[in-house]
Structure 1
């Protein structure tokens, strides 16, 4: 009796000779873990960490970005990031939708690394699973980057402007960093190290978020003065999903279920835990009490800092990086920010500049110091790479890391500014004052919670409770009679 070709071992196209089922399984699991960081992770975190009146809008900004990136990614952006070279910093735009492309063995065409004399040093990256798995995995990284940018803009960006911003920034900013550092572009060829996105994702989102926040303008004065989280416990739930999902974030970037992925996952947790504890201790020392929000910020800075070197450093280095990521971003957020006129003028809602840009830069720089030669040879295309602490060419590696960071910073400052200016010609970047005063109900006609005396009203003539939406003049927003009444 015959069975479907998908189950016929290595005797069919469904299970090709090059396919490693373990690698493919781990890559899809890793991609899903990264996706769970966004949906529901950051959707929950954003919806909980903001003021109640912005819970729906903040969560929706994340959800919209996740969906919009998906369509842009498979239509044109994947190959701009990982396809054939168009420019030293950009790939050729084309779709990743046809089965002839998606079922063949994964490959990054521009990733062949050459010696100075033109001979091949390291062959093209060709993981042992189909292109479909690679497209899926990398899409999750692109999605979470846009959602991180949103963290700087919560509580005042016009949702329609955000709907335009997402595809434009993905196309003209994210794809540049991804191809330049990961896809075989000029920084990849030069040997800049970014194991899993300290530069491509975190530094870029932190700089882009701060830049966009400048162009969008600040929240209302009332919101800036007092912006308490509406649900601390749900915020911790979102943060927990973010932490656990980072196993896929860093563990999936060797493109294989190998010993390097194990090192990356272990180092990720070591650094995050250290950073959280250091941040909490500083809060106790300086403010006399531990902050739950502060602990989450310390966790995030640790996760971000280890990301560019997760599978390349030893455990003791992960602890050192955790100490640095728990203290330096704390200092820039709690001390420098309050004394800096420039940072005070730009309203970065969740402090993404500190938690992602500062921590991402710190992680990239320390990777240039702590990259261990044996681990580097397991992963990097440039042979004999090492950090500054290991002598040899290590000092030059540190210089490469700084230059790579400067490129990412400069490109995001310029590209994000141009995108915001162009959108501003078509749609206001900031909500009108009346929407800023009301929040979710004005923007979406929806509220996060229907609590007694808050979101529902009692009318004796109706003999029950009814939604406040019924007070509007928009019939399309009215809830059908009887749906919300409790007689």
Structure 2
């Protein structure tokens, strides 16, 4: 048996080259699948359930479309813009990632070689022990979820045709810039800004871009802003659960190997999320007298977002500290500051992505600059002797780097998102007309989520199997069951 196991892991064949580590490849494909499940079906379910009934189909479809459209554009040009050869300090050279000769070679991020100031190599380019195909798909799942998170700011009114145009343009001109700059070997990567798994590339960018898009698209109907209850709280929790569990792949796959950093990241991710959820819930009880299920989900999300930029780089106690702060600071910005800020109230950010992703992502990046542990940093970071300010010996410089990196991501997303939407607006209205907003899914897609009567509709027995009845006829069906009007 021992000999058979040894042969299984050492046998060299055309399908198993000598550089392939089966364990790393298996984990990377698993991690990619977990991140995919966060979007499909996780956020599809979450979005379709957390909105008002008349927007369930439209919200779910926006996520579905973004996932599919992102994948095709990713393999056509965007992967290599984000992780290929350097074109500009913040952008890679776009090219297809579809040919077998490219996809079955050993994965390599060519621009990630890090040099000392004298030009000698400090850290060689990243070369995981699995094929490029695994890398291309894993990184795609991050690109897709970024766009889906961004969509949370404009649910319930954005013209679906405008969204269909926005997705590819934002992926090209915004996401790839952040990804190359911080992960692919760009200037922030080379300088040593830490973004372990996307606190800046994904969450800060989606939160800022979502907020800008919410402002430019315009608000929902006044009636929708005033009353926008979730149409299915239990299904919303199912989507949130997929999001939480999938985050183990999100952060656990980011070291590009099944190594020590991956194990630390998975544990820290779950610890921070649980702590944040509990703190948010306790604050809801303390200030509003009862725990909110939606609030608990928001606290879970802010914890997951906050730990992401430092998941594999901080100690367990630091993950608890980050959870306490991510459960309280975004809570304060959403529940207290938002109500006092004229600017925040003017922008109709449907799912509060500014608070749950921009605020929490920025918070996580700053805390990483404070709490990144030197030994853990030495396991995977390209800049040797990196450390948070808490650990002294130059750690204050790391905090400065984190702030500068955040400012670049914020500035680029404000400019790029604004430009993209202004161009689209020349050809397609960004917001659905009011008469369609009153109707919702049926106007946008000709489909509705549930075969129920609600939202003020009257039960008409002549339309439901009782041809001789009028509106005054009791709604008793032939099997004895009563027709019920359900108000959602």
TM-score (norm 1): 0.93
How far apart, CA to CA, are the structure 2 residues paired with 1:435 and 1:120?
59
**Superposed counterparts of 1:266-281, under 5 Å:** 266-281=267-282
- Equivalent residue number for residue 92 of structure 2: 91
Q: Any idea what SS the aligned residue of 2:122 has?
A: strand
- Equivalent residue number for residue 386 of structure 1: 387
Q: Contact 1:458–1:464 (CA<8 Å) still a contact in 2?
A: no
Q: Which one is further off, 452-461 or 177-186?
A: 452-461
**Superposed counterparts of 1:309-320, under 5 Å:** 309-320=310-321
Whether 1:447 and 2:448 are equivalent positions in the alignment is yes
- Equivalent residue number for residue 168 of structure 2: 167
Whether 1:66 and 2:78 are equivalent positions in the alignment is no
How far apart, CA to CA, are the structure 2 residues paired with 1:199 and 1:145?
11
**Superposed counterparts of 1:140-151, under 5 Å:** 140-151=141-152
**Superposed counterparts of 1:347-358, under 5 Å:** 347-358=348-359
Q: CA deviation at 1:458?
A: 4.8
How far apart, CA to CA, are the structure 2 residues paired with 1:461 and 1:291?
39
- Equivalent residue number for residue 435 of structure 1: 436
Q: Any idea what SS the aligned residue of 1:297 has?
A: helix
Q: Any idea what SS the aligned residue of 1:426 has?
A: coil
Q: Contact 2:107–2:128 (CA<8 Å) still a contact in 1?
A: yes
- Equivalent residue number for residue 259 of structure 1: 260
- Equivalent residue number for residue 418 of structure 1: 419
* CA deviations over 1:88-113 (Å, ceiling 9, x no partner): 00000000000000000000000000
- Equivalent residue number for residue 240 of structure 1: 241
**Superposed counterparts of 1:284-303, under 5 Å:** 284-303=285-304
How far apart, CA to CA, are the structure 2 residues paired with 1:453 and 1:314?
50
Q: Contact 1:371–1:386 (CA<8 Å) still a contact in 2?
A: yes
- Equivalent residue number for residue 32 of structure 1: 33
Q: Contact 1:181–1:192 (CA<8 Å) still a contact in 2?
A: yes
Structure 2 unaligned runs (5+)?
1-7, 468-488
Q: Contact 1:79–1:93 (CA<8 Å) still a contact in 2?
A: yes
Q: Tell me how large the CA RMSD over aligned residues is.
A: 1.6
Q: Contact 2:9–2:22 (CA<8 Å) still a contact in 1?
A: no
How far apart, CA to CA, are the structure 2 residues paired with 1:403 and 1:461?
62
**Superposed counterparts of 1:473-484, under 5 Å:** none
How far apart, CA to CA, are the structure 1 residues paired with 2:124 and 2:299?
39
- Equivalent residue number for residue 476 of structure 1: none
- Equivalent residue number for residue 102 of structure 1: 103
Q: Contact 2:107–2:131 (CA<8 Å) still a contact in 1?
A: yes
TM-score (norm 2): 0.92
How far apart, CA to CA, are the structure 2 residues paired with 1:462 and 1:173?
50
Whether 1:214 and 2:209 are equivalent positions in the alignment is no
Q: Any idea what SS the aligned residue of 1:179 has?
A: helix
* CA deviations over 1:313-372 (Å, ceiling 9, x no partner): 000000000010000000000011011000000000000000000000000000000000
How far apart, CA to CA, are the structure 2 residues paired with 1:145 and 1:201?
5
Structure 1 unaligned runs (5+)?
1-6, 466-487
Whether 1:360 and 2:361 are equivalent positions in the alignment is yes
* CA deviations over 1:422-478 (Å, ceiling 9, x no partner): 00001000001111001001111100000257889655488459xxxxxxxxxxxxx
Q: Contact 2:46–2:238 (CA<8 Å) still a contact in 1?
A: yes
Q: Contact 2:275–2:323 (CA<8 Å) still a contact in 1?
A: yes
- Equivalent residue number for residue 50 of structure 1: 51
Q: Any idea what SS the aligned residue of 1:45 has?
A: helix
Q: Any idea what SS the aligned residue of 1:161 has?
A: helix
Q: Any idea what SS the aligned residue of 1:124 has?
A: coil
Q: Contact 1:246–1:303 (CA<8 Å) still a contact in 2?
A: yes
Aligned residues: 460
Distance 1:231 1:181, change over 3 A: same
How far apart, CA to CA, are the structure 2 residues paired with 1:452 and 1:46?
21
How far apart, CA to CA, are the structure 1 residues paired with 2:267 and 2:184?
26
- Equivalent residue number for residue 227 of structure 1: 228
How far apart, CA to CA, are the structure 2 residues paired with 1:453 and 1:404?
48
Distance 1:140 1:285, change over 3 A: same
* CA deviations over 1:134-188 (Å, ceiling 9, x no partner): 0000000000000000000000000000000000000000000000000000000
